[in-house]
Chains A and B, each alone.
Chain A
């Protein structure tokens, strides 16, 4: 009797091994690509931050040369990097505005009115617009003969002779670009918030109303606390993408970060020092990227702390 048992155990083990082998065979392409193009760049890029490594070394096959914190000292003394960092942090101002507006719009469209799905869909269109297309279209709004000046003049906010080139003025370019980020983002977060709102059981809000709570009370005491996970996710996503802003700057300023460096961001510095300029200093660029990564980590932790504590209080 023992022989068949052994046999089937052996078969079972053989089958288990076969399953493991075939599973990894299926996983192989994904894992290889994920490692080579996603994991390895982070590891190697972090290492490069502590080395001297230039296009010349890369071209001649010389390895990166370990120089410790030298790159970070260079960064600390580089005004351009400081400006970039300051502008990237300033870009975070878009986050609260974007989140509050998106949540408000989500609440607005979270009702059954005729045609509401049309409005939801239309608000999503800026999200599926390429950043380079946005640059082309908004240029006609922002230039000195553009529609923004006309609009502000007809509201008498601007004098009849004012002709502002919004993207060429160092006082306005930064905010003009940030406004496009807002335009391209609010539909995205609206959909996320809408999904959150619709996952709240209607009975909870009804119960609050039956207990005599006003609409505002129901919203702040019932809906918002239940939305905490979505709010955390959205504010985290938008914090990270604001800190990492790069595409908008490149397409709106032709990669200059101008006028007068008023739109120069930290990741633009990384791009300029690596491929977008004349330095081709991969070590320094990687070090700058590491600084942004550490900041991103810090901001993520703050986000988690803030919203976790807030939900405990609520």
Chain B
């Protein structure tokens, strides 16, 4: 009986490992290529000489340096990704918290209708939204003074359409609903303004949800390819890593070591975030379901 249980467990682990290899093989392979010394791969024996190439003859970090030297746009793209993701996270947290607070904590005229409308945007057919949003950005671009900051080819142009989402507002509303009402009443009695209540009481107590929303937004914008690639039309110097990545692949078709290094550079921040803040990932996802 005990032996059967052991065998059964061994079988489960075998399947688990099989799926694990399927899930992470592309990363392992990319990682190996990125640290392979391109000089050690002699003619006739390429990096594709699988499986021997899984154990590179010589390991090096040089590819991570050469890729920046031969493809200077990469450093710029990294910075762009940081800027775009940073603005998105900050904006989403502010916009969602501001909207969620009255929806969770105030009784006001039209509350139910506003909340239903926000939730209803979840089921809108957004197939062609990118088209109209591009036209909107192009119009914004023609505005005097602020046009260059908001329109096509600007950081804010990429970010603005993504800030306000039913998901973010809903997640923050749920968080605010769980905060005891007595805390609010006490603060209001003491003459705190609504903004002070939000900043001093609600937000500190809703930290886990804020973190979940921040991570969710960060990963989404860091990885987003299509929208930035069209919203930044004509602004090569503002393209994020996700867009620049494909050009890198095209530029180094014959030097996959550099491309692999670039790929690792793009993946690493998200991977580290995932390792250290795993519970928030799942939390955000749970929030999306409920």
Residues of A within 8 A of B (CB): 16, 19-20, 22-24, 26-27, 29-34, 36-42, 44-45, 48, 58, 105, 108-109, 111, 113, 116, 119, 121-126, 128-141, 143, 145-147, 150, 183, 187-188, 191-192, 195, 230, 233, 244, 246-247, 250-251, 254, 267, 270-271, 274-275, 282, 285-286, 289-290, 292-293, 296-297
Residue of B50, B127, B165 touching A150 (CB-CB under 8 A): B50
Known: A23-B106, A33-B163, A270-B131. A133 touches B256 (CB 8 A): no
A297 adjacent to B95 (CB under 8 Å): no
Within the complex, the shortest CB–CB distance from B154 to chain A, in Å, comes to 15
Residue of B15, B25, B121 touching A108 (CB-CB under 8 A): B15
A244 to B165, CA, bound (A): 19
Within the complex, the shortest CB–CB distance from A136 to chain B, in Å, comes to 5
A116 to B95, CA, bound (A): 37
> Which residues in A have their C-beta under 8 angstroms from that of B24?
122, 125-126
B20 adjacent to A122 (CB under 8 Å): yes
A132 to B228, CA, bound (A): 12
Interface bits B243-282 vs A (CB < 8 Å: 1, else 0): 1011011000000100100010011001100100010011
Residue of A19, A26, A39, A124 touching B124 (CB-CB under 8 A): A39
> Which residues in B have their C-beta under 8 angstroms from that of A116?
16
Known: A29-B98, A119-B16. A140 touches B30 (CB 8 A): yes
> Which residues in A have their C-beta under 8 angstroms from that of B118?
30-31, 34
Residue of B101, B266, B286 touching A195 (CB-CB under 8 A): B286
Within the complex, the shortest CB–CB distance from B127 to chain A, in Å, comes to 4
A136 adjacent to B259 (CB under 8 Å): yes
A–B Cβ pairs within 8 angstroms, 24 of them? A16-B107, A19-B106, A22-B102, A26-B194, A30-B96, A34-B165, A41-B131, A113-B9, A128-B271, A128-B274, A133-B245, A133-B263, A134-B26, A137-B30, A147-B50, A233-B289, A244-B127, A250-B226, A251-B225, A251-B246, A270-B131, A285-B128, A286-B131, A293-B128
A150 adjacent to B51 (CB under 8 Å): yes
B245 adjacent to A140 (CB under 8 Å): no
> Considering the complex, which residues of chain B in the window 177-219 have a beta carbon less than 8 Å from any beta carbon of chain A?
194, 198, 219
Known: A246-B226, A250-B226. A124 touches B281 (CB 8 A): yes
A129 to B271, CA, bound (A): 9
> Which residues in A have their C-beta under 8 angstroms from that of B16?
108-109, 116, 119
Residue of A125, A143, A233, A244 touching B271 (CB-CB under 8 A): A125
Residue of B9, B233, B248, B281 touching A275 (CB-CB under 8 A): B233
A129 adjacent to B285 (CB under 8 Å): no
Within the complex, the shortest CB–CB distance from B19 to chain A, in Å, comes to 6
Within the complex, the shortest CB–CB distance from B121 to chain A, in Å, comes to 5
Known: A33-B95, A48-B132. A128 touches B29 (CB 8 A): no
A94 to B230, CA, bound (A): 27
A282 to B148, CA, bound (A): 24
A97 to B2, CA, bound (A): 35
Residue of B nearest to A39 (CB): B121
B243 adjacent to A140 (CB under 8 Å): no
B135 at the interface (CB under 8 A from A): yes
A30 to B164, CA, bound (A): 5
B132 adjacent to A191 (CB under 8 Å): no
Known: A27-B99, A33-B163, A140-B33. A247 touches B226 (CB 8 A): yes
Size of the B side of the interface (Cβ < 8 Å), in residues, is 89
Residues of B within 8 A of A (CB): 9, 12-13, 15-16, 19-20, 22-27, 29-30, 33, 46, 48, 50-51, 94-96, 98-99, 101-103, 106-111, 114, 118, 121, 124-136, 138, 160-166, 169, 194, 198, 219, 222-226, 230, 233, 242-243, 245-246, 248-249, 256, 259, 263, 266-267, 270-271, 274, 278, 281-282, 285-286, 289
Within the complex, the shortest CB–CB distance from A198 to chain B, in Å, comes to 10
A117 to B191, CA, bound (A): 47
Residue of A132, A188, A254, A274 touching B131 (CB-CB under 8 A): A274
Known: A128-B270, A140-B30, A140-B256. A58 touches B138 (CB 8 A): yes
A126 adjacent to B23 (CB under 8 Å): yes
A129 adjacent to B223 (CB under 8 Å): yes
A37 adjacent to B164 (CB under 8 Å): yes
> Which residues in A have their C-beta under 8 angstroms from that of B96?
30
Known: A37-B161, A275-B134, A286-B128. A122 touches B102 (CB 8 A): no
> Which residues in B have their C-beta under 8 angstroms from that of A41?
126, 128-129, 131-133, 136
Residue of B nearest to A153 (CB): B50
B121 adjacent to A138 (CB under 8 Å): no
With contacts A38-B165, A191-B285 known, what are 6 further pairs, Cβ within 8 A?
Answer: A26-B101, A41-B131, A123-B19, A150-B51, A183-B26, A195-B289
A29 adjacent to B99 (CB under 8 Å): yes
B270 adjacent to A27 (CB under 8 Å): no
> Which residues in A have their C-beta under 8 angstroms from that of B125?
42, 289, 292-293, 296-297
Residue of B127, B161, B194, B249 touching A139 (CB-CB under 8 A): B249
A233 to B290, CA, bound (A): 11
Residue of A nearest to B16 (CB): A119
A133 adjacent to B242 (CB under 8 Å): yes
> Which residues in A have their C-beta under 8 angstroms from that of B194?
22, 26
